Amino acid sequence: MPDGYTDPIFVEDIGESGFRIEQQYNHFNIGISPQPSPGLFIRAVCQMLLKQIKQKQARIGIIGLGYVGLPLVIEFGRAGFQVVGLDIDPAKVDRLNRGESYIKHIPSKTLRELVEQKQFKSTTDFSSVSNLECILICVPTPLNSNREPDMSFIIATAREIAPHLKKDQMVILESTTYPGTTRDVLIPELESGSGLKANQDFYVAYSPEREDPNNKDFSTSTIPKVIGADSEYAMECANTLYLSFINKTVPVSSTQAAEATKLMENIFRSVNIALVNELKVIFDKMGIDIWEVIQAASTKPFGYMPFYPGPGLGGHCIPIDPFYLTWKAREFGITTRFIELAGEINVAMPEYVVNKILLALNEKGVSVKGSRVLILILGFAYKKNIDDDRESPSYKIMELLLQYGAEVEFHDPYIESIGVKREYPQFTGKKRVSLDSIDQFDITIILTDHSDYDYEAIVKQSRLVVDTRNACAKIKSDKIIKA
């Protein structure tokens, strides 16, 4: 064996000269017999990437700078990595490069520090991925009008970055999706556009996001991270990368297992929320308060965990994720009756709330149709104390009330005006009203129980209150109607 030859298994320090391992490796190819196996070379590349990750020399790219991508930017930056954010929205990129956050629970101060320390920058130029070692994809995966998975954002992203991929890089998909997406959608697009082979020339893994915006008990770094990969080297690199800032990782056997894990988590929630929503309707007819029942049932120390009813499902996960599996199951000739039934119940909740509103008005001698009825919606975010209105049931409820002929306004302390919504373009630009005029409305509807609201004052000033969140539980008043 020629002097200077290094077995690729032990090339942890071989990259100091600045040459690729492949170049050094080829330098010694002449006259070596037998040739080292391809597996040893792949291992060598893995060792080089692992070294860069462990020493915080790997440059990280985050594609999609929303509620999933931006927290990752913060955590990687805090861990000492150089981070590049990529997004197709130039307005977002400009704000981030000024150190400005557009998400309530992510402070601008944190972003500004990373920008000033030159640890973070944003761009719309996807060719910059050629200068990165690890690329994380955090793009939307909505449903189309037929409740089928819309993979267009994943496909478009893969096609954007594929021509700029190079050997030895790591690509991780974080977007929630159905089992098989990484293997059957992402990898073929990356291979086709780059001419490279996944898990030989570059590594691919899947790690589903588990963000819960503004959760005071858990953050990105303290929530265990599920990771799936289809090669041991991809798993080792992905696991090492996430352990650089996450307390605990949960490796699983494949990308499909990781994709299925995320769906199981959210289908579990969807089904149980549907159960309590159905019980809410039943108990209401019986004159029983569902909230009191849940509170009492929660005292059982085993075999029970509480879920709570509401005006409908919101956020990107629970209203959408179960239908990914429903769609995929059809490919195997399976009908997901339980999942679909839960979806039907949850989707019906906005109509149930509207019917309660109409009934409450009728009992006061107020008819929505043919008269001027003012309705105030309190809360447009899908859950309390955040500014995230993705899939919020407030949109559907407002649309239904308008169809019945009511005049509807809204107030949310975290949402000043409504942005562009694909399903509700008619509300774009609608601004919130002041709570000073609450006594001018025929009825006030609590759809999001923000902590900022003074519910005693709201009940006192309102003519009628429909409470869908049990926000007025401690207030005694004939004005309050639970829905």
Q: Report pLDDT for 126.
A: 97
State the catalytic residue, choosing from 134, 138, 237, 317: 317
Cα(463)–Cα(110) distance, integer angstroms: 43
pLDDT category of residue 423 using cuts at 50, 70 and 90: confident
CATH 1.10.1040.10 domain residues, the chain? 268-346
Average pLDDT value for residue range 234-254: 97
Q: Give the other-Cβ count within 10 Å of 430's Cβ.
A: 16
Amino acid present at 235: M
Question: Of 3.30.470.20, 3.40.50.720, 2.120.10.30, 3.20.20.100, which CATH number belongs to 50-257?
Answer: 3.40.50.720
Tell me whether residue 395 is exposed, middle or buried, using C-beta atoms within 10 angstroms of its C-beta: 0 to 12, 13 to 18, 19 or more: buried
Q: Give the other-Cβ count within 10 Å of 11's Cβ.
A: 20
Average pLDDT value for residue range 115-130: 97
Task: For residue 467, report the phi and psi dihedrals to the nearest 5 degrees.
Answer: -105, 110
Q: Report pLDDT for 97.
A: 97
Q: Report pLDDT for 371.
A: 62
Is the pLDDT at 14 greater than 60, yes or no?
Answer: no
Is the pLDDT at 8 greater than 60, yes or no?
Answer: no
Residue located via tokens 């195997």: 332
Average pLDDT value for residue range 146-172: 96
Is the pLDDT at 456 greater than 60, yes or no?
Answer: yes
CATH 3.40.50.720 domain residues, the chain? 50-257, 348-482
Q: Report pLDDT for 370.
A: 64
Superfamily of 348-482 according to CATH: NAD(P)-binding Rossmann-like Domain (3.40.50.720)
Please enumerate in sequence order all residues whose Cβ is within 8 A of that of 233, keeping only pairs 6 or more positions apart, or say none.
Answer: 42, 43, 45, 46, 199, 203
Q: Is 138 noted as a catalytic residue in this protein?
A: no
- Mean pLDDT of the chain, nearest integer: 90
Q: Which two three-digit tokens encode residue 89?
A: 């929205």
Q: Report pLDDT for 410.
A: 96
Q: Report pLDDT for 45.
A: 67
Q: Report pLDDT for 30.
A: 33
Average pLDDT value for residue range 252-270: 97
Fold of 268-346: N-(1-d-carboxylethyl)-l-norvaline Dehydrogenase; domain 2 (1.10.1040)
Q: Any bridge partners for residue 143, and if so which?
A: 149
Residue 126 is given by DSSP the state G
Is the pLDDT at 17 greater than 80, yes or no?
Answer: no
pLDDT category of residue 316 using cuts at 50, 70 and 90: confident
**For residue 179, cis peptide bond before it (omega within 30 degrees of 0):** no
Q: Report pLDDT for 411.
A: 96
pLDDT above 70: percentage of residues in the chain: 90
Cα(366)–Cα(386) distance, integer angstroms: 34
Q: Report pLDDT for 326.
A: 95
Q: Report pLDDT for 4.
A: 35
- Tens of pLDDT along 366-412? 888 766 678 899 999 999 999 999 999 999 999 999 999 999 999 99
Between 286 and 30, whose confidence is greater?
Answer: 286
pLDDT category of residue 44 using cuts at 50, 70 and 90: low
Average pLDDT value for residue range 11-38: 38
Q: Report pLDDT for 144.
A: 87
Q: Report pLDDT for 441.
A: 94
Average pLDDT value for residue range 27-51: 58
Q: Which of 12-16, 152-156, 196-200, 301-305 comes out lowest in average pLDDT?
A: 12-16
Contact 444, 414 (CB under 8 A): no
Q: Report pLDDT for 121.
A: 97
Nearest CA among 147, 163, 182, 158 for reference residue 64: 158
Cα(395)–Cα(444) distance, integer angstroms: 16
Average pLDDT value for residue range 466-483: 96
Give Cα 290 distance to the centre of its chain. 29
